[in-house]
Structure 1
Amino acid sequence: LKIGRMLEQQQAVADLRSFVGRIYNDTGGQKEAIDSLTDVEVVALAKNLKRGVPIATPVFDGASEKEIKRLLELADLPLSGQTQLFDGRTGERFERQVTVGYMYMLKLNHLVDDKMHARSTGPYSLVTQQPLGGKAQFGGQRFGEMEVWALEAYGAAYTLQEMLTVKSDDVNGRTKMYKNIVDGNHQMDAGMPESFNVLVKEIRSLAINVELEQD
C-alpha cells in the first residue's frame, strides 16, 4: 500500500506526517492531533498502517460514498473500490474487476416474546371490513386460500363458515356473536360478508349489473 511504499522509499518524516494527517483529518471524521506526535511516533504509526488503515463505521449510517472515494483516492486505488483478480489455475486475469472485502453475518433478532400476539376485537379495514394484519396493527391471523382449501378438504363446513363470516367481515354477525358470547349464548347467526359487496361493486365497475335477490 501507499504508506508501505513511502516507508520503503525512506521518504521524509514530514511527508509521512502530512499524508497520515490527511487520512485522519481530511475525511470529515474525528480530528486527530497528528502534529503533536514526535517523529519517532509518526514512523511507528506509519509502520502500523503499512498493511492498511483500519476503519470502523456503522452499518446503515456510516461513511458516505464521497468519503469512501476520498480515501480510495488517497490510497491511489480505483474509485470503483474493485481490484483485478487472477485465475489461480491458469494465471489469467478475470474479465472484470472484482469487489473484495470481508464477509460478515448479522444475527436476526427473532424472539418468542416479540412474536406472541392475540386479538379478540380490534381495528378493521375500511374497504373490506376485515381485521387488519400483523402484530403492529393489532391485527388478526390471515386465513388465506390454502387454509380455506384445507378446511374444505376436511369437510369442516361450520368452522369454515365461522372463519369467513363472524370472525372476519360479517359486520352484523360479528356484533351479534360478541353479544352472544357476553350473554353466555354460543349460538352463531352468520350473515353476508362485506367482501361479497366489494366483489359486486368491482363487477359493476366493469359495466356488469349484479343484483342480490334475498328470499
Structure 2
Amino acid sequence: RYEEIDGQKVKGNLDKYSLLKFVRSNQGTCYNQRPIVSVGDEVVKGEILADGPSMELGELALGRNVMVGFMTWDGYNYEDAIIMSERLVKDDVYTSIHIEEYESEARDTKLGPEEITRDIPNVGEDALRNLDDRGIIRIGAEVNDGDLLVGKVTPKGVTELTAEERLLHAIFGEKAREVRDTSLRVPHGGGGIIHDVKVFNREDGDELPPGVNQLVRVYIVQKRKISEGDKMAGRHGNKGVISKILPEEDMPYLPDGTPIDIMLNPLGVPSRMNIGQVLELHMGMAARYLGIHIASPVFDGAREEDVWETLEEAGMSRDAKTVLYDGRTGEPFDNRVSV
C-alpha cells in the first residue's frame, strides 16, 4: 500500500497521532504536548514521539533546577518563607500558563426568552469592538477586567422600567425596548487572551439543561509570572510562601561569582526530619561540578554513602558547605552554607 506524504509516494501505512495542545486541566492549568521528533526521522516501536507536562525527553521532570541555599536573610525567611532572586522572574523560570473557563446561558424567562446579541442598551461601539455579529468575543482578542465577553439581554417587566421609560410608554403607547443588559464580562483579575469559544444551541440538537436555549463557553488564557505571596514546594513536603523577591545583585553569591536563586530557612529541616531535601541539595551541587545528569528513583535512589562518594568525586568537602558572600556588601558570611 502506498501513501502520499509531502507530495511523495511512500510504501506503508500512514498513522496519525494527535497531540493535545493547550488544553485546560481541572485545576485551570495548561496541558500541552509537544513533539520531540522531526520530519524524516526513523522511529521504532516503543520510541517516544512527544513530551507532555512534567516530562523532558520522555523522562519524568518535576520542577526546575535552581541554586538553593539553606540560610537566613534578615528574617525574611521566618516560618518557612522563601526568598527568591529576581532572575527567576525575568527569565520566566517559574512562569505558568493558566486557562479559565467562563460561560453564559440564554434561558427562557417568564417575560420572554433571553437573547445573545450585539445590540445591547447603553453600551458604546468601542465596548463592542471585539464582539462578532452574534455578540460573542472573537478568538485571539486581548481582554481586560470588565470587558464584554458575551452580549446578552434579558426582558424586564413594567415594574423595572424607569420613570422616563414609563412616560414614553404612556405617551407613544408603544412598547419601549424593555430589556436589560445581562452580558458576561471579564471578572476582576481575569484578563488575558481569548483562547477558544464554544457555542451550543438547542436548535442544532445540542443537549442543554431544561430552560436553556443557548450556551456559550469562553476560554481565557493568562501568562502568570511568579510573585510575592505565591506558594512553592520541593519534593519532600518542604513548602513555603515567597516573602521577598530580591534583585540579582543583592543575592548571596558563590566564590566564583554565581548568585544563588533561592534562600530557604535551615530551621525547616531538623524538626520535620525530611533530610531528603538536604541530600538532594548536595547531590545536585556535585552533579553541577561533575557536569552529569542524575536520575534517582523514588524509594530506590542514591543512598547517603552514594552522596558522599559523589561529593568526593566532585572534589567537594564532606559537609558540602561553601563560603557565601553577601551581595549587598561583598563581605563573606560568618559561617559556611549548604548550597
Same-fold call, TM cutoff 0.5: no
Q: Which protein has greater RCO, CA pairs closer than 8 Å, 6+ apart?
A: 2
> Of Structure 1 and Structure 2, which has the larger fraction of its residues in helix?
1
Q: Which has the larger share of strand? A: 2
Q: If the length of structure 2 is used for normalisation, what is the TM-score?
A: 0.20
Higher Cα radius of gyration: 1
TM-score by length of 1: 0.28
